[in-house]
Amino acid sequence: MAAGTEVTPATGAQQETAQSRKAPSRFWAKVRYQLLNVFAGLAFLYLLVPIAVVILFSFNDPPGRFNFTWHKFSTAAWQHPFATPGIQDAVVLSLKIAFLSTIIATILGTLMALALARYSFRGRSVTNFVIFLPMATPEIVMGSSLLTLFISISFNRGLTTILIAHIMFNISYVVVTVKARIYGFDRRMEEAAMDLYANEFTTFRKITLPLIMPGVLAAAMLAFALSIDDFVITQFNAGPDITFPLFIYGAARTGVPVQVNVIGSMIFLIAIGLMAVNILYQNYRGKRDAIAISGAVRKAQLAEAT
């Protein structure tokens, strides 16, 4: 009892000092809280203003060759996006390389991801390191070393060499993306299929592949984006061929046509559209699953009640 009366005033005093220390800082805490939000807002502005500039200047009608100052609103370039000589060939070549390199890199990378996520084997950590290295090497080193190889063995540069390079740097990104998905899924699904006398191939086709498909698709989209955007490695290994980024580089010093902004905006809008569709679909699936689960729960409850 005596101990109790001793303790209470002491803690009361402690609380008081804690409060008196906090009271004046409450205002500043709020300011600090809002300050961080304002800062984040400014960061978003920094990220998005250049994109707005790209889209805005696709509607410009520049007086000279340089599309750097705003002159007059025009939709001419949007009506004729391929009016500049050479630009269509460049875009077609970029798309061709992106499609081919995506398909090959996705297949090779997915197989490696399966091996790494599924099996424990000798040389696992070495394999992981080998896959990690291209992602940690500056593009200029990869580009120049590949160029040196092609020069040394007198291999003509062009579509083939660009393709080889793009597959090389895409493999690692595919492995990492698909691996993340494989780690997230329930192995018992496959065991169940095997228990039901499905052989390994059927199990893979009917269970494993559909389950990892979202990861494979995400990896393929990433590979496509990396390929169509790549400049450095492509410049070193393109030879006389001109991809869309190389076309822009060539035009940069003599004046970039408005069409470049139009095609850049198109790629941006298509990519954003695909992302939005993906997010909406995920939300829809989440809701659908939630409804299905709550329905099942209700059924179970009803069964229990009767």
> Shortest gap between Cβ of 297 and other proteins (angstroms)?
23
- CA–CA separation, 109 and 106 (whole Å): 5
Read off the DSSP letter of residue 186: -
Nearer residue to other proteins within complex by CB, 2 or 10: 10
- CA–CA separation, 289 and 297 (whole Å): 12
Nearer residue to other proteins within complex by CB, 20 or 120: 120
Nearer residue to other proteins within complex by CB, 124 or 298: 124
Nearer residue to other proteins within complex by CB, 275 or 297: 275
Structure-token pair, residue 285: 């699936």
> Shortest gap between Cβ of 51 and other proteins (angstroms)?
6
Round to the nearest angstrom and report the end-to-end CA distance of the chain: 56
Nearer residue to other proteins within complex by CB, 99 or 132: 132
Are the C-beta atoms of 165 and 97 separated by less than 8 Å? no
Residue 86 Rama label (left phi>0; alpha psi -120 to 50; beta): left
Nearer residue to other proteins within complex by CB, 83 or 144: 144
Other beta carbons less than 10 A from residue 215's beta carbon: 21
Other beta carbons less than 10 A from residue 241's beta carbon: 18
Are the C-beta atoms of 95 and 133 separated by less than 8 Å? no
> Shortest gap between Cβ of 245 and other proteins (angstroms)?
5
> Shortest gap between Cβ of 293 and other proteins (angstroms)?
19
Nearer residue to other proteins within complex by CB, 140 or 297: 140
User: Which residue, among 48, 50, 52, 59, has the nearest Cα to 258 in the 3D structure?
Assistant: 59
Other beta carbons less than 10 A from residue 288's beta carbon: 10
In which residue are the tokens 């060499």 written? 161
- CA–CA separation, 51 and 266 (whole Å): 12
Quick one: which H or E segment has residue 128?
helix 124-136
Please provide the size of the chain in residues.
306
Nearer residue to other proteins within complex by CB, 276 or 300: 276
> Shortest gap between Cβ of 34 and other proteins (angstroms)?
11
> Shortest gap between Cβ of 69 and other proteins (angstroms)?
6
Q: Where are the beta strands (DSSP E) in the chain?
A: none
> Shortest gap between Cβ of 1 and other proteins (angstroms)?
28
> Shortest gap between Cβ of 247 and other proteins (angstroms)?
9
Structure-token pair, residue 17: 């000092």
